[in-house]
Chain A
Amino acid sequence: MSLFFQQLINGLAWGGIYALIAIGYTMVYGIMQLINFAHGDVFMAGAFAGYVIAQLLPDKSSLPSVILVFLSAMLFSTFLGILIERLGYRSLWKKNAPRLSLLIVAVAISLLLENVGLMIFGAAPRSFPSIIPSRSFSLGSISFTNIQVIVILSSLVLMVALQLIVMRTKMGRAMRAVAEDSEMSALLGIPRERILSFTFALGSALAGVAGVMVAIYTPQINPLMGILPGLKAFVSAVLGGIGSIPGAMLGGFVLGEAETLVSAYISSSYRDLLAFLILIFVLLFLPSGLLGKGVAEKL
């Protein structure tokens, strides 16, 4: 039984990370019905921005430098997210281009980011400086590290903050309006383009933080690190019900737990398979996800 609880703790950390990335997928999907394949690479870029800043800092493990690393990762990925939206998606979105074109653009941008990363940093994994020295604690027979606690707590704090932005601010209300009916909200005077930029910025900032978290937790980074977590976070978003922010959070935690339980009790080599099996299962039997609303197709 203690093994079970131990695995639950481990799963919670990954769950928080998946949830943070999944939020970006689900918000963008809610507004423009696009699977933003480049989102996983924004997450990677955040990790690398943190890495570059951490290399520059003299005192790596002091509190200000930890905060600086997280902030710079957030800023860089926010900037990147806005840039992607501006240069890649906006013109096609305004033209009402087929969704297939947007999807192909997303794939191309993802390739672009990965290979720019590979050219700058090379394919070999780099170890991330230990800006937070790992310490273990134990509670009865369950042990956990301070990094796990930090990852879980800060992802929860960020999710609450996001929920406040979306539900309580003017910008958040505008976001929900555009997601509900993009054309109607434009008619009512909501600047759709600005809202789209804002959505990309929010999602990318969260992905950047998740990037640094993974970098500290694993602790290594490489330019292709975004592909698999990106796809899995997308699965989390579908599992929770795509377009629903609480759904993405729930889906992230469910997937994180399911993965660690499978690797603990069955085999770790099936860990990566599980996400895709869940995906196909959800698409077949529960297409609107755990918390999503089923939408009838309009003619």
Chain B
Amino acid sequence: MRAKNIILVIGIPFSLWLINHFISNPSIFSPYILQIIVLMGINAILAVSWDFISGVTGQFSIGQAGFMAIGAYSSAFLTLKYKVPFLPAILFALILSAIAGFIVGIPTLRLRGDYLAIATLGFGEIVRVAILNMPSLGGATGLKGIPIYSSFFSVYLALAITLWFCLALLKSQPGRILLSIREDEIASQMMGIDVVKYKVFAFTFSAALAGLAGALYAHWTSLVHPDSFSFMKSIEIILMGVLGGMGTIYGPAVGGMLITLLPEGLRLLLEQNPLLYQNKDFVRMLFFAILLLFFIILRPQGIFGKREAKG
């Protein structure tokens, strides 16, 4: 068992590092394809972060883009204004978005179900409007010229660590407690579980992951803009999670990759029709909407989820 772990801990980063060399070579892969592959990794982390709070713990969040914005802006601010290296900037982003998650998690003391969902929605909008009104963060023009520190290697290493950590957590006692809160909050409370503490923990952890994805995103695209973290982005994240299968962790990771990849395939199809190509962004969102409806009505457990026994 231990030998296997050691192989994983050394083997995964090493193979990622090797693939990175191969994949970042512009003569083999065009920058366009590399761009898609990296964004797939970032969206996979985002989808996992949403799944952790909504799929595993059962607390529906529609404000995940707000946590992502905090991670993206805080790390970009440090690397851009204070020339901080990448790793400390990411750590800072993690801590700051975790604090935000903690603050949002506290209302779970009093809120349940859709009230909580609305509160997270409100939080996401507050973050966006607050950034819009902060001149030091670029306001409506956003931050430009952020150093490009993210790479295939850093993004997929972060994804691997995220997946490993979440799956391990799910098998541990705290993970089981989170699942029990999702299944029946009142029953868990009667069993002596400090429901509030675990819900706040889930929020904090999920927010930190979303912040990590945000920091990676900012240092890949080299610009951040308040509109990239709007309500629509939160919806997209939910779509990734639902598509992959809520509560499975690896399902949403695949869902995040698919939702990033599909529009590109769609684009190839649309290029043949000029009228549709003109409206490609709208067609893309329309396609997402129909996909979401299709999954919720016909296959609510997503691609990888298991159908639950009728209770």
Chain A contact residues, CB within 8 Å of chain B: 33, 35, 88, 91-92, 97-101, 103-105, 107-109, 111-112, 114-116, 118-119, 227, 231, 234-235, 238, 269-270, 272-273, 276-277, 279-280, 283-284, 287, 297, 299
Q: Are the C-beta atoms of B107 and A283 separated by less than 8 Å?
A: yes
Q: Are the C-beta atoms of B115 and A283 separated by less than 8 Å?
A: yes
Q: Are the C-beta atoms of B238 and A107 separated by less than 8 Å?
A: yes
Q: Which of B271-290 contact A (CB under 8 A)?
A: 279, 281-283, 285-286, 288-290
The interface residues of chain B lying within 8 Å CB-to-CB of A235 are 122
Closest 6 CB pairs of A and B: A111-B289, A276-B122, A108-B292, A112-B289, A115-B286, A118-B282
Tell whether B26 is near chain A: CB-to-CB under 8 Å: no
With contacts A104-B292, A284-B107 taken as known, whether A99 is within 8 angstroms of B114 at the C-beta atoms is yes
The interface residues of chain B lying within 8 Å CB-to-CB of A115 are 282-283, 285-286, 289
Q: Which of B129-145 contact A (CB under 8 A)?
A: 129-130, 132-133
What 1/0 flags go to B153-189 for Cβ under 8 Å of A? 0000000000000000000000000000000001000
Interface of B is mostly: helix
Q: Are the C-beta atoms of B107 and A280 separated by less than 8 Å?
A: yes
Interface of A is mostly: helix
Q: Are the C-beta atoms of B290 and A112 separated by less than 8 Å?
A: yes
Among B112, B125, B288, contact of A231 (Cβ-Cβ < 8 Å): B125
Tell whether B117 is near chain A: CB-to-CB under 8 Å: yes
In the complex the two chains form, what is the Cα distance from A109 to B290 in whole Å? 8
What 1/0 flags go to B283-308 for Cβ under 8 Å of A? 10110111011001100100000000
Tell whether B242 is near chain A: CB-to-CB under 8 Å: yes
Q: Are the C-beta atoms of B114 and A35 separated by less than 8 Å?
A: yes
With contacts A119-B283, A284-B110 taken as known, whether A238 is within 8 angstroms of B118 at the C-beta atoms is yes
Shortest Cβ gap from A234 to chain B (Å) = 7
Q: Are the C-beta atoms of A107 and B282 separated by less than 8 Å?
A: no
Q: Are the C-beta atoms of B296 and A234 separated by less than 8 Å?
A: no
What are 14 of the A-B contact pairs (CB < 8 Å)? A88-B293, A91-B297, A92-B296, A98-B300, A103-B60, A105-B293, A111-B285, A115-B289, A119-B279, A238-B118, A270-B129, A273-B126, A283-B111, A287-B111
In the complex the two chains form, what is the Cα distance from A287 to B300 in whole Å? 30
